[in-house]
Amino acid sequence: MGVNPPEAKRWQRLLREAVRDPRELCALLGLPDDVAARAEAATRAFPLLVPRGFIARMRHGDVDDPLLRQVLPLGAELEDVPGWVADPLVERDCAPRPGLLHKYHGRALLVTTGACAVHCRYCFRRHFPYDEVPVGRERWRAAIDYISGDATIDEAILSGGDPLTLADEMLAPLARELALIPHLRRLRIHSRLPVVLPERIDDALLDWFTGTRLAPVLVLHANHPHEVDDAVAAACARARARGVVLLNQSVLLRGVNDDVDSLSELSHRLFAAGVQPYYLHALDRVSGAAHFAVDDARAKDLMRGLAARLPGYLLPRWVREVPGESGKVALAWR
């Protein structure tokens, strides 16, 4: 008889049990067979992956559920749309070392892994050459040495893929080594796991994340209020209790959150969970995601509607990432 892993590793078991077959996803949600059949072709180009706990938050029988739309492969992904490209942010030009992106002054981003806990169909790195990304402490050496050698960098960002898919035994030594670099002040992690797999925010993670002199910042990614359930709120509470600063980035997505009610309620639920609404991103023009696009005129209307409804501290900044700019470009909407 098999032995269950210890509670501290429960998240790894849940990740292994994530759904990868469109037919299983559709069966769990009571969706017609033809939905699964259409999804299979797109899955061959970009695999399906979604944890069962995230599926449990979706509406049964509703193919337009806003959480389902983010993960369900569609035939539209296979369409060749002019202007939508594999590398919309031209990230290859910002990589001074393998697996390291240095786009902006003061911050360097370590692409720690190509693995994720969920495959978001709008992902701007869905075509990223992860096979070229070094994984492991010694393979990260060139990136760490680069950060150590540039005194203008005061914040290290762990990204991916999703860095929190890596085991604590890999991440803890990396955090300690980064803390030895005297000019670093903060360690920031960008992760979807606190939302789609909140069990990941356990004591073992928080011990190493908050256990160095670097100020810990965790940037979540939730797009719709239905994503922020009690389990997510509890995970955020655990992180806040240990001194982690919590921010949220969203992407404006057609058919998911392109209405004032959804965006407003998302800000309220995030704030109630101790998370500061941070950015609302204009969709990056990555090939396969054009069907999620919201035009700027519609986005401006949404921002005006949000501003009329929310206090300023709950209003995320509407931004676009533009290759070659010194930071995210704040978009005018007034």
Query: What are the tens digits of pLDDT across the range 299-325?
Result: 999 999 999 999 999 999 999 999 888
Q: What is the pLDDT of residues 190-220, one digit of tens each?
A: 999 999 999 999 999 999 999 999 999 999 9
For position 89, what pLDDT does the model report?
85
For position 134, what pLDDT does the model report?
64
For position 131, what pLDDT does the model report?
67
pTM of the entire predicted model = 0.94
For position 285, what pLDDT does the model report?
93
For position 1, what pLDDT does the model report?
35
Q: What is the pLDDT of residues 93-102, one digit of tens each?
A: 888 998 899 9
For position 9, what pLDDT does the model report?
85
In this prediction, residues 72-90 reach a mean pLDDT of 91
For position 4, what pLDDT does the model report?
47
For position 201, what pLDDT does the model report?
98
Q: Residue 90: pLDDT band by 50, 70, 90 thresholds? A: confident
Q: What is the pLDDT of residues 108-125, one digit of tens each?
A: 999 999 899 999 999 988
With 0-12 / 13-18 / 19 or more C-beta atoms within 10 angstroms meaning exposed / middle / buried, residue 332 is: exposed
Q: Residue 3: pLDDT band by 50, 70, 90 thresholds? A: very low
Q: Residue 8: pLDDT band by 50, 70, 90 thresholds? A: very low
Range of weakest confidence among 50-54, 78-82, 220-224? 78-82
From the CB of residue 299, how many other CB atoms can be counted at a distance below 10 Å?
19
From the CB of residue 333, how many other CB atoms can be counted at a distance below 10 Å?
14
Q: Residue 17: pLDDT band by 50, 70, 90 thresholds? A: very high
